[in-house]
Every structure is written in C-alpha cells, then in structure tokens.
Copies of this chain bind each other. A is one copy, B any other.
Amino acid sequence: MSFETTATIASFGGKLLKLAHQAKSTSCQMKLNLYIPPSASSSKPAPVLFYLAGLTCTGDNGAEKGFFQNMASKKGIAVVYPDTSPRGLGIAGEDDAYDFGSGAGFYVDATKEPYAGKYNMYSYITKELPEALFAEFKELDGKRVSITGHSMGGHGALTLFLKNPGMYKSVSAFAPITNPSKCPWGEKAFGGYFGDDQKSKWAEHDATELISKFSGETDVLIDVGTGDNFYKQKQLLPENFEEAAKKAGKNVKVRYHDNYDHSYFFISTFADDHVEHAAKYLFAYKLGQRQKL
C-alpha cells in the first residue's frame, strides 16, 4: 500500500482519511486529507475535487475550516486536500519566510538550486498524487476530476487547469493570485524557484498569461472579498485575469463580495457554491450520455 492511513474520521456521513505517503517528486513524506462521501464505493466511484490551499497552510486547513464536506457529501464528491509544499528537506532557509519555501510551494516544479529537483509541487499534484490515489482508492473515479483552491492555491488551480486541457472537468478559485508575475508574492516565489532571468518559465505559470492563449472553453468561477487586505495590496489582481479572459473571449466570472476578507470565514461562506460549480461538470456525463457542457 502506498498510503499510510493515520486516522479515519467520520464527517458529514462520509469519512475523512488522514494519509501520508513517500513522494518521489518531492523527495519526502507528504501528508494529505481525503474526504470520501457516503455514496462512494468501488462499484460507484465518486468524482473528485482537489482543493489547493494557500500560503502557510497544510491539507488540514480546508478540511477543518473550509466546510467543503457539507456539499461534497450531499453531491457525492470526494475531496482531496494536499499539502502546500515538501516538508523537512533541510534546505537552508526553506522555513524562514511564510511566503517562500515550506508552506509556499506555489504548485510549480522549481528549476533553480537549491530547490530544483525537490520543490516539484506541480508534478506532485498533477501526476504523482492522483496516480497514487486512484490506484489505491477504488472509491474514487480518476476520470472525473475538478480543481479549486485558495490564494496561492487558487493560482495553482487556475494554472493547473489552463496548462492541462482535459485533465480537470472544471476550475474555480477563492481569492486567487491570478497574475503572479506582477505581484510581490509571485515575484518572490518565481524569482526563487525559477530565477529572475527565466521569464518564460514565469509566464508558463501565470494564469493571466495562460488564459490569453488557452484554446478550450472555460467557465471559471472566482470569488474575491473586497475587504481582503491582499486584494487591496494587489497581490491577487483578479482584474488583470478578467481583462485577459475578456480579450481572449473566455468565460470567467469574478464575484466581488463586500467586506469579506482572505480567511476561511470567507471560504466557508462560499464553499457550497464551488462544490456545486464542480458538480455541474463532474456529473455532466451521466448514464453514458455525453451532454454538451
């Protein structure tokens, strides 16, 4: 068995598994939470929603405070809550800042030393983790996967969706970093993981750049609170993403909510909507009938 189950916790009629496994892409043990809804079984596997968390978080924050299980249970959707970086690699300085290194993997494969070859959260989330999960948990339907995330994890959700046409049935995000090449968090992370001279790598992981060139259809749901200090400080820049999408003729809906901040109080308030957004696509192919989305 590739996963160790360290706890099984009843939640909203289903079960939340605390998992750990040795990951090759990140050269360390990775922890995560997996919610399996009550309707799921090996004969009726559940579609899967990945929730990518933000800076400083682990897979626990969303599972404890996001309230995704409420609607996921009702809809019959499994939820994967991965960690946000490798842990304990012993790289000098990796634990020094809240916005770089551990807890801040930014869902990229680093190319710059000393992070190259180890900080590979892009490969981990798009390839190693889903392959391992779908091989082991027959209650999960690896052919129906959607993705969402918060802040740095919203950046992750948007870029992973846009870089991998067909991999995810839908995408949504809470207060995402949408134009990392042009905000302080992104500049620091991309500078550290790719190097300041590798601007082509930056563009490859910038949702605003990616949507300009995306060839498929989109229906992107984004929620942002106008009381969010990071929005005010221009770390998120959803307007840039909206504008790029509009120019490219892509369907992106950004909802601005008065007074809401960047916290899990904001996420939990709109969690139902994001699970329902995913459900619309995860259940679009039912009973063998291919419906047009």
Q: Is A117 interfacial (CB 8 A cutoff)? A: no
Contact with B along A108-141 (1 / 0, CB 8 A): 0000000000000000000000000000000000
Contact between chains at B265 and A11 (CB < 8 Å): yes
Contact between chains at A10 and B269 (CB < 8 Å): yes
- CB-contact partner of A9 in B16, B65, B261, under 8 A: B261
Contact between chains at B67 and A67 (CB < 8 Å): yes
Q: Is A238 interfacial (CB 8 A cutoff)? A: no
Known: A70-B70, A265-B16. A10 touches B65 (CB 8 A): no
Cα-based distance from A9 to B259 in the complex (angstroms) = 8
Q: Is A225 interfacial (CB 8 A cutoff)? A: yes
* CB within 8 Å of B: which A244-292 residues: 257-261, 263-266, 268-269
Contact between chains at A266 and B67 (CB < 8 Å): no
Cα-based distance from A257 to B260 in the complex (angstroms) = 35
Contact between chains at B268 and A227 (CB < 8 Å): no
Contacts of A15 in B (CB 8 A): 259
How many A residues are at the interface, by size bracket? Answer: 20 to 34
Q: Is A166 interfacial (CB 8 A cutoff)? A: no
Cα-based distance from A192 to B266 in the complex (angstroms) = 41
Contacts of A265 in B (CB 8 A): 9-11, 16, 64
Contact between chains at A263 and B9 (CB < 8 Å): yes
Contact between chains at B11 and A269 (CB < 8 Å): yes
- CB-contact partner of A64 in B9, B65, B70, B258, under 8 A: B65
Cα-based distance from A10 to B263 in the complex (angstroms) = 10
Q: Which residue of B lies closest to A259 (CB)?
A: B10
Contacts of A257 in B (CB 8 A): 10
Contacts of A70 in B (CB 8 A): 67, 70, 268
- CB-contact partner of A268 in B11, B258, B264, B269, under 8 A: B11
Cα-based distance from A70 to B8 in the complex (angstroms) = 25
Contact between chains at B227 and A10 (CB < 8 Å): yes
